[in-house]
Amino acid sequence: MEKNNKKAIFASGCFWGTQYYFSKAKGVVSARAGYIGGQLKNPTYEQVSTGKTGHVEAVEVEYDPKITNYENLAKLFFETHDPTQKNGQGPDIGSQYLSKIFYGNQEEKEIAERLIKILKDKGMDISTKIEKAGEFFPAEGYHQNYYDKKGEFPYCHIYRKLF
């Protein structure tokens, strides 16, 4: 990671679609699919997919703060999934597909809380949880940049303007 770049971690269902949108955002240097929030060190996809490890599928976004900022990325997070779905995302059901923001500092936490308040004030019943970031474990290679490799477009994640 470049010394001036920053990282952000978002979970919005299947990490393939989340990674797809973040990897194409202006100012994003890289987006890695992986796992966060559970009890196991270096979990595998097979372990996480049971829904019993406590991990969620997430994306670690490295970005250049001279080009974009955390708030822009958090808005993209909300605008590319359904933050009102409580038990997963689209057809992907289970605790490993929950909507979560993993903050790295107080400023990121406050931005996430403010954006949730804006959406709630618009009448949305937001289910997104905000948690302090723990250790992020990159997913297996075959999960990285899945849609770009397949030449396909995400089916669970659709962009829609909310802010």
Q: Is residue 14 annotated as a catalytic residue, yes or no? A: yes
Residue among 9, 14, 28, 111 flagged as catalytic: 14
E strand residue ranges, the chain: 6-12, 28-36, 56-63, 88-89, 92-93, 99-103, 129-132, 137-138
Tokens 């597909």 correspond to: 97
Give the gyration radius of the chain's Cα atoms.
15
- Distance (Å, whole) CA 87 – CA 89: 7
Task: Give φ, ψ of 92 to 5 degrees.
Answer: -85, 105
Query: Which sequence positions are flagged as catalytic?
Result: 14
